[in-house]
Structure 1
């Protein structure tokens, strides 16, 4: 789950829609910051190793997994907002034609 660790727990969350965009608001027990890198504890593989950027995802509280390339983050105090963005044309092509990007 994004944002949780030994010192920070997820307290509450809600899924809303703003301006036609899905937004998850996650409330934590301590102040949080926007994810900036791709640490293993937040994204992708838990068994070690590197996960290619195209395969990294965020697991949301309702169990849905979203590619990292399709979300933006906004942190304010103990609240983290995750906004689902429309994937770019290039991202959609990479998903539909995975062999196209592997040379």
Structure 2
């Protein structure tokens, strides 16, 4: 889950819609930066090991899980904005038809 850790606390958050795009704004107790890479505390399995890219997800404060490939991050001071982007048509087809192989 994106949220508090050993050196920062999640102070407040809200979910808004901007131009039809869902945006989560998370306010922390200290300045934050955009997540880089995919540490286990933010993405995928918490028990260790690797998680295939298609199965990696971001869990937000309201409990919603979003595929990691569908989000973009923007950090400004103590605020982290998470935009939920509409996945491309092909990606949506692969999710809907898991038995369909990719080439």
**Do they fold alike, i.e. is TM over 0.5?**
yes
Point out where structure 2 has 5 or more consecutive residues left out of the alignment. Answer: none
Q: Which residue of 2 aligns with 1:38?
A: 38
TM-score normalised per structure 2: 0.92
TM-score normalised per structure 1: 0.92
Instruction: Provide, for residues 41-61 of structure 1, a one-character-per-residue CA deviation record: whole Å limited to 9, x for no partner.
Output: 110101000011110111111
Runs ≥4 residues deviating over 2 A: 99-103
Conserved? CA contact 2:42–2:58, under 8 Å: yes
Q: Which residue of 2 aligns with 1:68?
A: 68
Point out where structure 1 has 5 or more consecutive residues left out of the alignment. Answer: none
Q: How large is the RMSD of aligned CA atoms in angstroms? A: 1.4
Cα distance in 1 for residues equivalent to 2:100 and 2:19: 34
Instruction: Provide, for residues 66-91 of structure 1, a one-character-per-residue CA deviation record: whole Å limited to 9, x for no partner.
Output: 11111111000110000111011121
Q: Which residue of 1 aligns with 2:92?
A: 92
Shift of 1:25: 0.2
Q: How does 1:1-103 map to 2 (within 5 A)?
A: 1-101=1-101
The more displaced of 88-97 and 40-49 is: 88-97
Cα–Cα, structure 1 residues 60 and 11, in superposed 2: closer, same or farther, change >3 Å?
Answer: same
